[in-house]
Structure 1
Amino acid sequence: MIYVENEYATLRKVVLAVSEFGYAKKVRQDDLRFLQEVSIKDIEEHKGKDFREAHPELQKRWEQERNDLQQVLEKYGVQVLRPRKLTDVEKEAAGDDGYSNFFVRDPFFTIGNCVIEGSMRFLHRRREVFPVRKIMREEVYPADCFYLATPSPEVTSPDDPTLGAGPFLEGGDVMVLGDTILVGNSGLASNTAGAEWLRKFLGKFGYRVEMVRLDPNILHLDCALGLIRNGLMVACEDAFPDGIPAIFKDWKKIHVSMEEATMLATNGLPISSEVYITDPVFTSIGEQLAAYGIHVEYIDFQISRSFGGSFRCSTQPLLRKD
């Protein structure tokens, strides 16, 4: 079965990212504004290298982070699927743009019984869906669900800072709350054209798609808010120029600063309405959640977070249903 009813229903089947990254040879500075300064410096220093080559010890720690997450997920009965690795041909085809196979949340997403391949804005991520296609053939094709892809983005001039008209639509910007779908837009990832395409498709099935404007230094919507259970959320109010979406006006909110948001404080992962995963650096958030009766599991995710993503970014559910 393939189905995602919301962000906090019981997680039963999930795709968990592997850990591959190739630095671009040409760096677009403005596209790095969501990262910590130390990560920006690292990207500048290792142009054209594979992360494994540049940081062999950190590569091992990065892989272990994802393995640790898999162990916790399986402890709670979640079926975990892993993408394949990038091939040498795929890495070579990336050219100067670099390559990635590290945050499976973004190249596709699941809404209800619809599995949708996204359309990535960053050039190094535009082939990131390929390692997931084997899972699509084995898990999605046989299931009673829809499987389709967002239109491919337009080709644009290399010096175009916008990277074109898109449409861009990335899973980190997509949040599911029953028949309401939120799509974030900071100018770094999903855009209006992507949200409009999703609205046109999902509208036929009774969904309402709402675009949410984000601070330009926030990569995705899930870097600004995280839904813990019905009525409880972690959010960075400063990340929303128009305020936190009205659908959450009656929700209890654990507030985090913009600095904490850029460290991925909101990007934990609910396993269910009772269990939540976060990094020990956010113990203060975990203690507040515990006061609401949430059991918090802690996993060190420092290396993953240095790339601009954390637990939600590293996973994409195929079945999340109570």
Structure 2
Amino acid sequence: MLQTVERPAPAQDALPVFVSSEWGALKECVYGSPHRWVMPKFLGDSKLRAYGDFYEFWVANQERDVAEVDPERFREFSNQIQGAINLLEGLGVRVQIAQELAPADLKFPRGENHGIVTAWMRDPFVTIGNNVIELAPRSLFHRRQRFAIRSILASTMDRGARYFSQPDGGAEDSRDEPGWGYLEGGDIFVLGTKILVGHSGGCSNPEGVRWLQHALGREYDVEIVPIDPMYPHLDCVLSTPREGVTVVCLEAFPSGLPEHIRDWDHIVVDKHLAKRHMACNNLILDDRTVVVPSEEALDGVAAALKQRRFEVIRIPYARPSEFGGSFRCAHQPLVRI
């Protein structure tokens, strides 16, 4: 006999799922969890993200719970993520939090411990228009993240979303051949109907871009953007807080900027600031308001945004950022209008 499972009803005040652009007013998002952080095995996908002193910490503590090996680091990490969640909720943004992974899912996809990194929820899915798409990340520790948000994503079907999934990447580290497309949300930028997808060689790939164009259809124009291999994702070297304005590391684009944004007003940061301090990875609330970490190294970015008449909100976020992902990496929008 089939068992009937009662689906939770969407919140009565929930808006239809839709993301218009990177700078659309943020009304709802999935945000990373402040509750767990287990370091992944130090494989090739880890080397893309580790940097400086944190590289040594990761190698020494792979597969270990950060709350046990460095309680003070974990306390700061958890408090800073919760602070961002509190800020968003205080501004009226509906925030949904990644859930705990089931023990069996921790063995996915090949029976090894690839850590718990549900504090960074940008990569396992993307919202483009009313399309909510589970992605096929190349990184092994990103592949399991979708299980922590599956119920959230499935509930979007009751709110007008077209919910579907990219073919899974399986248990191999990577396979760059026809049919094996990889996409990670940090590479994907929604600029209206123009979609940019970063390609560093270690995350999203051309086959993934081909699949995304096929899935979205002719309404969208999907373009691959080569970036320096020292950065995992496009959002490590670019943000678009308003149509016509970027924060960008120009050195990270070996072929130059995409034509679509080439003539915009650019706030330029250097490679070190983009890599070590995630200077481009800020949280856009709307086309007038940006959240930038309060670390002194980012004062110049904040000042440049203010010169362009943005309101800039500053809160601490250094601990999550050291993993290689700041505010943008922590969230994926469900409603930006």
Q: TM-score, normalised by structure 1?
A: 0.93
> 1:60 and 2:75 equivalent?
yes
SS in 1 for 2:149: helix
Alignment partner, residue 270 of structure 1: 284
8 Å Cα contact 1:153/1:164 also seen in 2: no
8 Å Cα contact 1:236/1:256 also seen in 2: yes
List alignment gaps of at least 5 residues for structure 1: none
- Higher mean C-alpha deviation, range 175-184 or range 28-37: 28-37
Shift of 1:287: 0.8
Residues 269-292 of structure 1: CA deviation (Å, up to 9, x unaligned): 110111100112211110111111
- Shift in alpha-carbon separation, 1:250–1:92, aligned structure 2, 3 A: closer
8 Å Cα contact 1:107/1:119 also seen in 2: yes
Partner Cα distance (1:91, 1:108) in 2: 18
Alignment partner, residue 169 of structure 1: 183
SS in 2 for 1:85: coil
SS in 2 for 1:244: coil
Partner Cα distance (1:313, 1:33) in 2: 15
Superposed, 1:137-156 pairs within 5 Å as 137-138=154-155, 140-156=156-172
> 1:18 and 2:33 equivalent?
yes
8 Å Cα contact 1:270/1:277 also seen in 2: yes
Partner Cα distance (2:284, 2:329) in 1: 12
8 Å Cα contact 1:155/1:164 also seen in 2: no
* Residue from 149, 155, 166 that aligns with 1:132: 149
> 1:112 and 2:129 equivalent?
yes
Partner Cα distance (1:125, 1:51) in 2: 18
> 1:214 and 2:252 equivalent?
no
> 1:199 and 2:216 equivalent?
no
8 Å Cα contact 1:172/1:313 also seen in 2: yes
Alignment partner, residue 302 of structure 1: 318
> 1:316 and 2:329 equivalent?
no
SS in 2 for 1:106: coil
Partner Cα distance (1:52, 1:129) in 2: 23
Alignment partner, residue 95 of structure 2: 80
Shift of 1:60: 1.8
SS in 1 for 2:208: helix
Residues 193-232 of structure 1: CA deviation (Å, up to 9, x unaligned): 110100111124x100000001001110110100111111
Shift of 1:154: 4.2
Partner Cα distance (2:131, 2:63) in 1: 37
- Shift in alpha-carbon separation, 1:287–1:24, aligned structure 2, 3 A: closer
Residues 152-175 of structure 1: CA deviation (Å, up to 9, x unaligned): 11443xxx6x56543110110000
- Higher mean C-alpha deviation, range 79-88 or range 101-110: 79-88
- Higher mean C-alpha deviation, range 190-199 or range 92-101: 92-101
* Residue from 190, 202, 221 that aligns with 2:204: 190
Alignment partner, residue 260 of structure 2: 247
Alignment partner, residue 115 of structure 2: 98
- Shift in alpha-carbon separation, 1:133–1:48, aligned structure 2, 3 A: same
8 Å Cα contact 2:45/2:139 also seen in 1: no
Partner Cα distance (2:229, 2:47) in 1: 11
Percent identity over the alignment? 32
- Higher mean C-alpha deviation, range 12-21 or range 174-183: 12-21
Residues 238-292 of structure 1: CA deviation (Å, up to 9, x unaligned): 1101011111122100000011110210000110111100112211110111111
Read off the aligned partner of 2:152 and give its amino acid letter. Answer: I
8 Å Cα contact 1:154/1:164 also seen in 2: no
Aligned Cα root-mean-square deviation (Å): 1.7
8 Å Cα contact 1:100/1:124 also seen in 2: yes
Partner Cα distance (1:154, 1:253) in 2: 39
Shift of 1:29: 5.2
Partner Cα distance (1:113, 1:30) in 2: 30
Alignment partner, residue 9 of structure 2: none
List alignment gaps of at least 5 residues for structure 2: 1-15
Shift of 1:54: 1.6
Read off the aligned partner of 1:13 and give its amino acid letter. Answer: E
